[in-house]
Structure formats: C-alpha cells, structure tokens
Structure 1
Amino acid sequence: MKAFTRTKYGGPEVLQLEEVEKPTLKDDHILVKVVANSANPVDWHILRGKPFFARFTFGLFKPKDKIPGADFAGVVEASGNNVQHFKVGDRVFGETLKGGAFAEYTCVPANVCALMPEGTAFPEMAGCPIAGVTALQALITHGQLKEGESVLINGSSGGVGHFAVQVAKAYGAKVTAVCSSKNSDFVKTLGADQVIAYDKENIHQHNGKYNLIIDTNGNLSHDDFKRMGQRGVMVGFTTMGHMMRVLLKKAFSKFPLVQFTAEANTQDLETLAALVQNGKIKVHLEKTYSYKHIPEAINHIEAMHTKGKVVMVWDNSSGRE
C-alpha cells in the first residue's frame, strides 16, 4: 500500500511517499481503507518532535512510528477479535495519536472510531475527530457548560474553534467569539452571538464577564482567564514558555482552569456524528488536497491561519451516500 513515512524528526519535507506492507489486523482493532484524512496542529508537533517532552511518548531520538497521521474516514476492510460494533463495509471515522493514518490502510482500536452518519461525505467526517472531540471535551467534559451560560471562545475560526462555536450553540450557550476581523462574518455564520475582532480590540484588555473561557489559540494569560471568566479551559498554546507561565500561576491559584489533551472515544465521536446529522454542526473545509500533497497540507496548517479544516483525499469520489 502507499503511505507517507518518516525516519527522523523535522518539517513536512521529511515525509516520503512509498510502498509499505499493509498493517496486520489485531484483536480489538479494525482495518480501515482510508478515503480521507485531515491535518491538525498535532500532526506537525509530532512530525517535528515538539515540544521536546512529547518525544518521551513518540520516540526520544527518532520517531517510534514510521507512518504519521491521526484523523481519518474510510471503510472497514476487516474487524479483529472482540470487535462487535463494526462490520466489513461500514463507513467509519476516528483518530489515533499513535499515527498510521496517512496511508491507504490503517489499523486502529475500535474504541476510537464511530459510524459515519448517513448522507455525510468522507472528507467532512475526516475533519471531525481531533478538532471536534477537542471542542466537545473542552466545553462539556472539562468546561461543564450548561444551557443558558455565556462562553468566550478565543481562536474561534480555526479547526477546534469553529467546532467550539457550533457545539456551544447546540448546547444552548450564548457565544462570544474572538477572531480576526476578516473572519468575523464567517464566525457569525457559525452562530456566534457576538464577535470580538482581536485586530481591532485588545483581548488582553477586554473586560467582558463570562461563565466560561475557552482558549483554543493559546495566547491568553492566567490574568486574562481570571479577569473575564468564572472558569477556564486552555486547549492550545503559542509557546511552551507561555503555557508553563499559565500553568505555574494556576498551581498557586484557586481559579478553576483546566489544561488537557483530548482523547477520542466512540461515545464522543457518536455525539459529534449526531450533531452533524442533525445540522447542528457543519464542517467547514477550507482546502482539500490530494493525498499526494499531504506534506503541503501540513505546511498549510503550520502557518496557523486556517479557517475551518484542511483535508486530504485518497480518491476522487466524495464518498457521500
């Protein structure tokens, strides 16, 4: 099968498209014929081995896993022992941070996958797993968002952010979105009740009060969280130094601030699938690449100015049924 591989840490230029063996089916896993992937910031972090402490998980001196890639949507080719919820021919989507998705076939644990809703296309569902699950867990699992509450979402036009706006609205929140002025209209179409353009108003001096602050951009200080919110969730980070400063202040503060890394599970993926099927979430695809240009897609993501999602397709069909 074709797959993008790497043998060392670095930028997208270290990826090579080559022929490799199809993965062997394992117990509790499914073998998926990949139709589409999406690119996420985590892909280039893992590709570059940054932040450095992540190498204790992914390989200290060189990557443990030859094939990178996390998000995918495709068709079940085979199911392993103990797998009960998926059968050959099922259309599924999911993600695994252990990699292996940037290939024609990937073998993944069944508990990080879910069935695609009827009428959806592979590219749109490939865009859901990491970004959608992160938004859902930030708002609901860790942010404990309740109907009628107010939430400020910093970085509302990107992959996670554009999901967060829609998920928050689906759960009955009043949403204030922070983005650039050029993306204000886009964020309003997602359902934001109010938009703050950071290039026209300094968010670090904003004095609005909210029940919950979600920072997907990673540039809010601990003082920003305390000034504006009753509680906060930090998703992204701009630099390791900034994140450590926020977490250090958190350690000596009673302000309820959570920093987490999302982990996919079937239940949360099914929640996202239902929201997509019911029209509560629309996956905005900014760019669609051929699989041959996966390195270029990751390079585009690394520029950090994405509006919605970037996906990569392994064939020419939309995959819609």
Structure 2
Amino acid sequence: MKAFIKRIYGGPEVLQLEEVAKPVVKDNHILVKVIANSANPADSHILRGKPFLARFSLGLFKPKQLVLGTDFSGIVKEVGTNVTAFNIGDKVFGESIEGGAFAEYVCIKSRVCAKMPEHIDFPIMASIPVAAQTAYQALITNGKLQNGESVLINGASGGVGHFAVQIAKAYGAKVTAVCSSRNVDFVKSIGADSVIAYDQVNVHEHNGSYDVIIDTHGNLKHSDYTRMGKRGVMVGFTTMGHMVSVLLRKAFSKFPLTQFTAEANTQDLEILASLVKEGKIKVQIEKTFPYTEIPDAIAHIEKMRTQGKVVMVWNETL
C-alpha cells in the first residue's frame, strides 16, 4: 500500500510517499481502507519531534512510527478478534494518536473509532476526531460547561476553535469568540454571540467576565484567566516557555485551570457524530488536497492561519 513515511524528524519536506506492507489486523483492532484524512497541528509536532520532551515517547533520535497521520475516515475491511461493534463494510471515522493514518490502510483500535452518520461525506467526518474531540473535552469534560453559562473561546476560527463555538452553542452557552478581524464574519456565522478581534482589541486588557475561558490558541497568560474567568481550560500553547510559565503560576494559585491532552474514545466520537447529523456542528473545510499533496497540507496548517479544517482525500472521485 501507499503511505507517507518519515524516517527522520523535520518539516513536511522529509515526508516520502512509499510502498509499504499493508497492516495485519490485530486483536481488538479494525483494518480500515482510508478514504480521507485531515491535518492537525499535532501532525506537525509529531513530524518535527517537538517539543523535544515528546521524543521520549516518539523516539529520541528518530521516529518509532514511520507513518504519519492521526485523523481518518474510511471503510472497515477486516475485523480483529473481540471486536463486536463494527462489521466489514461499515463507514467509520477515528483518531490514531500514535500515527499511521496517512496511508491507504490503517489498523486501529476499535475503541477510538465510531460509525459515520448516514449521508455525511468522508472528508467531513475525517475532520472531526482530533479537533472536535479536543473542543468537546475542553468544554464539557474539563470545562464543565452548563446550559446558560458564558464562555470565552480564544482562537475561535481554527480547527479546534470553530468546533468549540458550535459545541458551546449546542450545549446552551453564550459564546464570546476571539479571532482576527478577517474571521469575524465567519465566527459569527457559526453561532458566536459576540466577537473580539484581537488585532483591534488587546485581549490581555479585556475586562469581560465569563464562567469558562477556553484557550485554543495558547497565548493567554495566567492573569488573563483569573481576571476574566471563574475557571479555565488551556488547550494549546504558543511556546513551551509560555506553557511552563502558565503552569508554574497555576501551581501556586487556587484558580481552577486545567491543561489536558484529548483522548480519543468511541463515546465522545458518537456524541460528535450525532451533533453533525443534527446539523449542530458544521465543518468548515478551508482547503482540500489530494493524498499526493499531504506534505503541502501539513505546510499549509503550519502557517497557523487556517479557517476551520484542511482535508486530504485518497479517493479523488469524492
């Protein structure tokens, strides 16, 4: 099968499209023929081996997992022993945080997959796993967002952010979004009640008051959380130094601030699939690449100006 291989750490230029052996299905796994992928900042971090501490799990001097890729959607071709939730021919989507998804086939644990809703396209569902699950777990699992509460979402136009706006609205929250002025209309169109353009208003001096602060961009200071919110969730970070600074201040503060890494699971994916089916989540796909241009897709998201999601399609007829 064809797959994008990374034998060394580096930028998108180190990815090579090669012929490799098709994975053999394992116990508790399913073998999926990949139809579509989406690109995430996590793919870039894994590709570059950054932050450096991550190499203790990724491979210190060279990558342990040769095939890059997290998000996918596709069709089940084989089912491993002990798998009862899926059958051959099912349309599924899921997340392989260990990598391996930028290939014609991926062997994946069944517990990190879910069935696709009927009549929803593969590229749409390939956009969901990492970004939408991160948004859901930030708001609901960690942020404990309740109906009627107010939430500030920093970085509201990107992959995680545009899902966070819609999920917050689906759960009955009043949403204030932070984005650039060029994305104000887009963020309003997906449900934000009010928008702060960070290139016109200094968010570090904003004195609004919110029940929950969600930072998907990763540039809020600890003082921003405590000034504006009752509780906070830090999703991303701009630099390792900034993250350490915030977490150090958190250690000496009673303010309820959570920093987490999303964990894929079928239950959350099924909830998100239902929200897509009901029209409460609409995926904004900024650009679609053929699978042969997956390195270009990674380079595109590294510019950090993406509105919504970037997808890659293996079957050009879709």
TM-score in same-fold range (> 0.5): yes
Report 1:167-246 matches (<5 A): 167-246=167-246
SS at match of 1:88: coil
Could you say which residue in structure 1 is the equivalent of 2:285? 285
Letter in 1 for 2:161: G
2: distance between equivalents of 1:17 and 1:3? Answer: 6
1: distance between equivalents of 2:242 and 2:111? Answer: 34
1: distance between equivalents of 2:109 and 2:58? Answer: 18
1: distance between equivalents of 2:261 and 2:53? Answer: 14
Could you say which residue in structure 2 is the equivalent of 1:2? 2
Could you say which residue in structure 2 is the equivalent of 1:116? 116
- Percent sequence identity is 70
Letter in 1 for 2:160: V
1: distance between equivalents of 2:96 and 2:151? Answer: 29
SS at match of 2:195: strand
Residue 317 of structure 1: how far off its partner (Å)? 2.8
1:159 to 2:159 alignment = yes
CA displacement, residues 56-76 of structure 1 (integer Å, 9 cap, x when unaligned): 111011000010100000000
1:83 to 2:64 alignment = no
Report 1:97-108 matches (<5 A): 97-108=97-108
Aligned structure 1 segments of 4 or more residues deviating by more than 4 angstroms: none
Residue 190 of structure 1: how far off its partner (Å)? 0.5
Letter in 1 for 2:195: V
1: distance between equivalents of 2:179 and 2:273? Answer: 26
Specify every segment of 5 or more residues in structure 2 that has no aligned partner in the other structure, as ranges. none
Could you say which residue in structure 2 is the equivalent of 1:266? 266
2: distance between equivalents of 1:317 and 1:168? Answer: 34
1: distance between equivalents of 2:180 and 2:26? Answer: 46
CA displacement, residues 13-60 of structure 1 (integer Å, 9 cap, x when unaligned): 110001000001100000000000000000000000000111111101
Residue 316 of structure 1: how far off its partner (Å)? 1.7
Could you say which residue in structure 2 is the equivalent of 1:32? 32
2: distance between equivalents of 1:164 and 1:57? Answer: 29
2: distance between equivalents of 1:263 and 1:121? Answer: 24
CA displacement, residues 140-183 of structure 1 (integer Å, 9 cap, x when unaligned): 00000000000000000000000000000000000000000110
2: distance between equivalents of 1:135 and 1:13? Answer: 30
1: distance between equivalents of 2:70 and 2:52? Answer: 19
2: distance between equivalents of 1:129 and 1:266? Answer: 10
With structure 2 as the length reference, what TM-score do the two structures score? Answer: 1.00
Letter in 2 for 1:25: V
Letter in 1 for 2:259: Q
Report 1:15-94 matches (<5 A): 15-94=15-94
CA displacement, residues 252-300 of structure 1 (integer Å, 9 cap, x when unaligned): 0000000000011000000000000000000110000000000000000
Could you say which residue in structure 1 is the equivalent of 2:132? 132
SS at match of 1:138: helix
Could you say which residue in structure 1 is the equivalent of 2:304? 304
1: distance between equivalents of 2:268 and 2:60? Answer: 31
Specify every segment of 5 or more residues in structure 1 that has no aligned partner in the other structure, as ranges. none
Letter in 2 for 1:11: G
RMSD: 0.4
1: distance between equivalents of 2:167 and 2:226? Answer: 23
Letter in 1 for 2:301: I
With structure 1 as the length reference, what TM-score do the two structures score? Answer: 0.99
1: distance between equivalents of 2:23 and 2:57? Answer: 21
2: distance between equivalents of 1:180 and 1:67? Answer: 34
Number of corresponding residues: 318
Could you say which residue in structure 2 is the equivalent of 1:294? 294
1: distance between equivalents of 2:182 and 2:102? Answer: 32
